[in-house]
Amino acid sequence: MQRFGKVYLVGAGPGDPGLLTLKGKTLLESADVVIYDALVSPPILAMVNPHAVLIDAGKRRGRHSRLQDQTTQLLIESAHTAAIVVRLKGGDPFVFGRGGEEMAELVAAGIPVEVVPGVTAGIAAPAYAGIPLTHRLYSSSVTFVTGHESAGKYRPQINWAAIAQGSETIVIYMGLHNLAVIVAQLQEAGLAAETPVALVRWGTRPEQTELIGTLGTIVAQVEEQQFEAPAIAVIGAVVQMQEILAECRPTI
């Protein structure tokens, strides 16, 4: 009977190395192979076992160095020769990270696999900007949604109208490229142009920057300031707390 190594899908968190879990750090220090995404921060990569094989899997918009099926095949091949294989993914593997797809393929191939959750950017980036996603005075519901849908999905498109009416705080991943369309649909669904919006770029990293506006102004602000991805968008009244809490943000 053939024996394989084990693959660990490890969430690297949003960037601040202090947010990496202890379990994730231990695996990086003992890994034989680490296959990582482009958004994993250099300080976290510095924790990797110096004798491990490091492989860049890319995964930035418009700059995919490997197709998804190629990455999965690489994981399978690595498990044939290495005892500990770490698939290091930005944020959390199961939150818009395609971790479920990779795990299913590994299970189908008979490869032992385990997920190690990470802190997702949709929670950490707003927190580091001084924006609580819930607040007794402003919001008791949160929706996490991707602003960048892939082809061949299980459904044709996100129901922005339902999201606009169903949640007091909306957190959008990978939405900057489609921001104008998203904003227009949310306003058509009834959200006021005065609804506060925050964009947090490179959340939890030293280069973190924020852009604060409203649904009516944010698209023009992005163009004027040439605000670029990667960024998390937060839409809702909780963004108002940023003026009060930003001074208490964590030290990066």
Catalytic annotation, residues:
37, 59, 174
Report how far residue 170's alpha carbon sits from residue 184's, in angstroms, rounded to the nearest whole number. 15
Q: Closest by alpha carbon to 204, among 124, 131, 130?
A: 124
Report how far residue 221's alpha carbon sits from residue 239's, in angstroms, rounded to the nearest whole number. 16
Half-sphere exposure of 245 (CA within 13 A, CB side): 16
C-alpha distance across the termini of the chain, in Å: 49
On the question of a cis peptide bond just before residue 42, with omega within 30 degrees of 0, the verdict is: no
By DSSP bridging, strand 53-56 and strand 33-36 are parallel
Report how far residue 235's alpha carbon sits from residue 138's, in angstroms, rounded to the nearest whole number. 12
Q: Is-contact 33 55, C-beta < 8 A?
A: yes
Report how far residue 72's alpha carbon sits from residue 200's, in angstroms, rounded to the nearest whole number. 30
Sign for the CA dihedral angle at 168, 169, 173, 176 comes to positive
Q: Residue 142 corresponds to which tokens in the numbers above?
A: 């949160």
